[in-house]
Amino acid sequence: MNAAAGNTLGTMMSSPLTIDVLVRRAASHGDTEIVSRTPDKTLVRTTWKKVAARATRLAHALVRAGVEPGDRIASLMWNHSEHVELYLGVPLAGAVLHTLNLRLHPDEIAYIAADAGDRMIIVDDVLLPLFEKIVAAGAKFERVFVVGAEPKGRERYEQLLESGEPTVLPTLHEDQALGTCYTSGTTGKPKGVVYTHRSTLLHSLVLALPDQLSLARRDTLMPVVPMFHVMAWGLPYGAAFVGCRLIMPGPFLDAANLVDLLVGERVTAAAGVPTLWIGIRDLVLALPEKPELQPGLRMIVGGSAAPLGLIRDFDTLGMPIVHAWGMTETSPVGLVSRVPPEADDLDYEAKLAIRAKQGLPPPLIEIDVRNEEGSVPHDDRTVGELVIRGPWVAGSYVGGHLPDRWTNDGFFRTEDVAKIDAMGIVQLTDRVTDLVKSGGEWISSQELENALMGHPAVKEAAVIGVQHEKWSERPIAIVVFREGQSATAEALRAYLAPSFAKFWLPDAFEIVESIPRTTTGKFLKTALRKTYKDYKL
Amino acid sequence: MNAAAGNTLGTMMSSPLTIDVLVRRAASHGDTEIVSRTPDKTLVRTTWKKVAARATRLAHALVRAGVEPGDRIASLMWNHSEHVELYLGVPLAGAVLHTLNLRLHPDEIAYIAADAGDRMIIVDDVLLPLFEKIVAAGAKFERVFVVGAEPKGRERYEQLLESGEPTVLPTLHEDQALGTCYTSGTTGKPKGVVYTHRSTLLHSLVLALPDQLSLARRDTLMPVVPMFHVMAWGLPYGAAFVGCRLIMPGPFLDAANLVDLLVGERVTAAAGVPTLWIGIRDLVLALPEKPELQPGLRMIVGGSAAPLGLIRDFDTLGMPIVHAWGMTETSPVGLVSRVPPEADDLDYEAKLAIRAKQGLPPPLIEIDVRNEEGSVPHDDRTVGELVIRGPWVAGSYVGGHLPDRWTNDGFFRTEDVAKIDAMGIVQLTDRVTDLVKSGGEWISSQELENALMGHPAVKEAAVIGVQHEKWSERPIAIVVFREGQSATAEALRAYLAPSFAKFWLPDAFEIVESIPRTTTGKFLKTALRKTYKDYKL
């Protein structure tokens, strides 16, 4: 027997997955462009090589400014090359990038900045008015740096960079914090998630795979998803790995400016939420001539479900949609929907239906759908809660909040209700909190709502559960009629009856003038539940 | 300030990169096929789900048979689904798969098996005659299992599987040994490299990226490269990640059988060495009708450089070559050659020249080319030694041999001489040991040989360095003339003169009948150097 026998160790290099590897790779992409739309609408062009050099300078400047490993550095910025510099340079200094969501209320941003313990902040000049409101709401930062025009009484980001003469950067380890994001928190206070160097590098490598978002050096990628929204879905890091061109829309997320970039910069992959894509569809359909899009352009959709009709419309436009699902807690890529080869013989409509599902997990991610009896069968029918685990899934929240969001076997509970088909493809049907549990059986409020909104008299309908002595919960429907129309409760129930089990039918129909909505347009069910808390059936 | 501030740890799950994740993923690919050519030439079809289940059973069986973490389990096998089971199941048991190279001499195989400390071995029935020679050469194994026909006096692999009732598998950690391969060792004894779970999983994820070998679920992959050759370049693991179909040629690596599989199984990606591809080219060109190949079929080439003419020929056949470079020490994918977008405007011949180079490193791999003055400029001219580092590059050899193969900053010295162009693309020109160093300047023996073999009278030419008092080394050429032809030393020197600096020209031309070659057809320069050791100029 020899020295090798029984030795459980390998002979491979110790080579941690840390951001310095990615910064050096970004530098190797040389003159490949990063194009940013500035607030005055001009396009500014730089290169991966320059951005990598400036990111490195930023890291040195931060260390010279006294930033210590683990310190939080906030950004209040749109999508542009300086924000890419922060994505690379802040973690290169051992610090943690905290991308503040500028769409939240200033009070909420101030709360989040305090909860994260942000020490310094870098702000776009055009966002200074918002920034002053955040400060007025109580946020405190040791130093504030401004990108863009010469600010009054504030330090400039360029001055910070100028101070970045080479010094010793801290040694990074791969489980070290790299960035932090907060969930939008429709219930309770926002909760923080802290991504590591390892989780970020693994996530951005895997999202570039052909069956995932598919990124190659010859792509031109436009992340329309804001860089303050789950690290722009990891796309800037993926782009830094593969060395594709990067097009950054700055503050202009309207359809006209986006289509202008799609055409003018020959974009091959754009990524954003369905709402923005709807605007693009409507604009392109209204144009007198079809715009000259790059062949192979694909429109990556995430953030909320892509409706089947939208996927169909974009096929017609020659801009096929790639549908993905994720959460802040999953970095975010957790599922990607593509038609698998075994479905090649299905007709177009059946394939559309597959693409409108949330899809399959990428490598290294494991999912399960579970109800009280365990994992659900892959029958495209039985529902349960989607749970997920893998190297870029959160294992806890900052401060240890809500520990019951994790299962004993280490999966994160998404609170999304899902079913799985025979090909393993996941479809989300509800939020767990939107389900009604009647006599031990689940009733989907979303399915009832969608059906009710098919009735000619119904403009809007929301279904919630109210307490019931015998059945524990029973569904009731809150209905808004179309102008000048109405229907009786019996008529509405009769309309639903053919499509649902009898116990699913709402016990009552409450007619209202309007249903409260969230800022993103979803029904605000928490408000409805409060209103009907003591509803007597 | 809050608990998060200054906390350098993230909140992500601990999720090690270990083979169990990949085995569960393989199982999720369900009925996707693995097709193997058996020794009787029939095709046997199984599925990822079955192979994953059998691999799991194998792991349980090995643990029940007393296999401990770190134990070496050898395979002496062709490419087929049982070998895939070993790839997954042996490391799942915590053991280390040692794929013995059946092309080596039995004495050498016995030496390697002893050096690795192999405890058990699994052998193809058709390789039993070779196996008996290895045993006769002194190799010892506690147990021997045979795949295929009922063997005389040997245990069957299927019996081993039957014994695999569920038991407790050891907990795996990602830096644990997964597999071991030995370099073929043209100089000195073969040296072992031990891959880890982490290095293997990272390597196989990255090789599937669009700019690397590009593997997707809808691919049908045929690894012609033997599974005993650098873990079949990681392709079985990459396939297990993406869930593509896998076609295994078994013992039949002749062009007719391979083309039969390419056509019959609708292969979209095949991977092998240039020699085999030359056979395929010649066969296809000789066919009366062009075979019906799958559109998009690509021919991955590695193992040795793909000649430019071969790449051109395969373009003509509609089977474009993807050229990659690697070594046993690099798992192997270290460089992949693709035409970058900045070269799109070049003509076809210029693009061919790029594709014939070795290419660019994949994500996570860093390379440099260094001479005595440091990193060479990217001028496509200055040569130095290619060095490489990254998570799937060896950090040492088994037993700690040759520690000077690693630089102080952690790069592995490939002993390949290379230059880099302005796009960062690497081209190998020589082996370090094939260079002649004259008066402190390097002379490329390969370039002189290629030029000499362009002379109409020259059939073969090898250039080596011999000792020289003043210049330390000087080149001499060993020449074989074509039948009935000859040329004087003056004529040969005059033929070379226009293409080379004067100090490059060989000081002498030795005319011989033949030049000794290695089994793979390369000049055996070690033998030449021995012959001309005391050559006087």
Could you tell me which of B191, B192, B195, B193 has the C-alpha nearest to residue B176? B195
Match 């051992």 to its residue by tokens. Answer: A94
- pLDDT score of B1: 39
A366 contacts B196? CB cut-off 8 A: no
Query: pLDDT grade, residue B432 (50/70/90)?
Result: confident
B329 catalytically annotated: yes
Query: pLDDT grade, residue A99 (50/70/90)?
Result: very high
Q: What is the mean pLDDT of residues A377-384?
A: 95
Q: Is the dihedral of CA B234, B237, B243, B247 positive or negative?
A: positive
- pLDDT score of B519: 61
Token reading at B113:
């098996």
On whether the CB atoms of residues B486 and B457 are closer than 8 A, the answer is yes
- pLDDT score of B3: 47
CB contacts, 8 Å: A17 with chain B: 364, 391
Query: pLDDT grade, residue A1 (50/70/90)?
Result: very low
- pLDDT score of A471: 86
Task: Count CB atoms within 10 A of the CB of residue A410.
Answer: 15
| DSSP output for B87-106 | HHHHHHTT-EEEE--TTS-H
d(CA B450, CA B459): 11
pLDDT tens for each residue of B231-283: 999 999 999 999 999 999 999 999 999 999 999 999 999 999 988 998 999 99
Would you tell me which residues 181-240 of chain A have a C-beta closer than 8 angstroms to some C-beta of chain B?
192-196, 198-199, 201, 205-206, 208-211, 214-218
Q: Which residues pair with A368 in a beta bridge?
A: A387
Q: What is the amino acid identity at position A297? A: L
Q: What is the mean pLDDT of residues A430-447?
A: 82
On whether the CB atoms of residues B407 and B387 are closer than 8 A, the answer is yes
Would you tell me which residues 158-177 of chain B have a C-beta closer than 8 angstroms to some C-beta of chain A?
175-177
- pLDDT score of B447: 82
Q: Are strands A458-468 and A441-444 parallel, antiparallel or unpaired?
A: unpaired
pLDDT tens for each residue of A180-215: 999 865 556 789 999 999 999 999 999 999 999 999
A70 contacts B5? CB cut-off 8 A: yes
The fraction of chain A above a pLDDT of 70, given in percent, is: 97
Match 């809150």 to its residue by tokens. Answer: A478
Residue B217, pLDDT > 90, answer: yes
d(CA B500, CA A72): 59
Q: Please tell me whether the overall predicted TM-score, pTM, comes out greater than 0.80 for this model.
A: yes
Query: pLDDT grade, residue B32 (50/70/90)?
Result: very high
Please tell me which residue in A48, A442, A471, A504 is annotated as part of the active site: A442
d(CA B363, CA B348): 27
Token reading at A224:
């329309």
Q: How far are the Cα atoms of A99, A201, A383, A519 from residue B7, in angstroms, in the given order? A: 17, 20, 39, 33
B215 contacts A364? CB cut-off 8 A: no
Q: What is the mean pLDDT of residues A318-342?
A: 96
Query: pLDDT grade, residue B520 (50/70/90)?
Result: low
Please tell me which residue in B233, B325, B442, B504 is annotated as part of the active site: B442
d(CA A512, CA A208): 48
Q: What is the mean pLDDT of residues A293-312?
A: 91
Q: For residue B192, report the phi and psi dihedrals to the nearest 5 degrees.
A: -90, 145
Quick one: which H or E segment has residue A371? strand A366-371
Q: What is the mean pLDDT of residues B469-479?
A: 91
Task: Tell me B132's DSSP state.
Answer: H
CB contacts, 8 Å: B217 with chain A: 211, 338, 340-341
pLDDT tens for each residue of B107-148: 999 999 999 999 999 999 999 999 999 999 999 999 999 999
Token reading at A250:
């700055």
Residue A269, pLDDT > 50, answer: yes
The fraction of chain B above a pLDDT of 90, given in percent, is: 81
Q: What is the mean pLDDT of residues A358-371?
A: 97
Q: Is the Cβ of B388 closer than 8 Å to some Cβ of chain A?
A: no
B8 catalytically annotated: no
Query: pLDDT grade, residue A80 (50/70/90)?
Result: very high
CA atoms within 13 A on the CB side of A245: 21
- pLDDT score of B441: 78
Q: Which residues pair with B194 in a beta bridge?
A: B180
Distance, in angstroms, between A407 CA and closest chain B CA?
12
Q: What is the mean pLDDT of residues A21-48?
A: 97
Task: Count CB atoms within 10 A of the CB of residue B105.
Answer: 12
Q: How many CB pairs under 8 A join A and B?
A: 238
d(CA A59, CA A26): 15
- pLDDT score of B183: 87
On whether the CB atoms of residues B119 and B67 are closer than 8 A, the answer is yes
CB contacts, 8 Å: B28 with chain A: 424
- pLDDT score of A79: 98
Residue A234, pLDDT > 90, answer: yes
pLDDT tens for each residue of B50-87: 999 999 999 999 999 999 999 999 999 999 999 999 99
Higher pLDDT, B369 or A519: B369
Q: What is the mean pLDDT of residues A33-48?
A: 97
- pLDDT score of A520: 58
Q: Is the Cβ of A8 closer than 8 Å to some Cβ of chain B?
A: yes
Strands in B358-471 per DSSP E: 366-371, 374-375, 384-389, 412-420, 426-431, 435-438, 441-444, 458-468
A289 catalytically annotated: no
Q: What is the mean pLDDT of chain B?
A: 93
Q: Would you give the distance in Å from CA B289 to the centre of its chain?
A: 33
Q: What is the mean pLDDT of chain A?
A: 93
A8 contacts B218? CB cut-off 8 A: no
Distance, in angstroms, between A150 CA and closest chain B CA?
30
Q: Which residues pair with B443 in a beta bridge?
A: B436
Residue to mutate among A1, A2, A9, A13, with most B CBs inside 10 A, is A13
pLDDT tens for each residue of A124-151: 999 999 999 999 999 999 999 999 987 7
CB contacts, 8 Å: B31 with chain A: 342
Task: Count CB atoms within 10 A of the CB of residue B20.
Answer: 17
d(CA A321, CA A265): 19
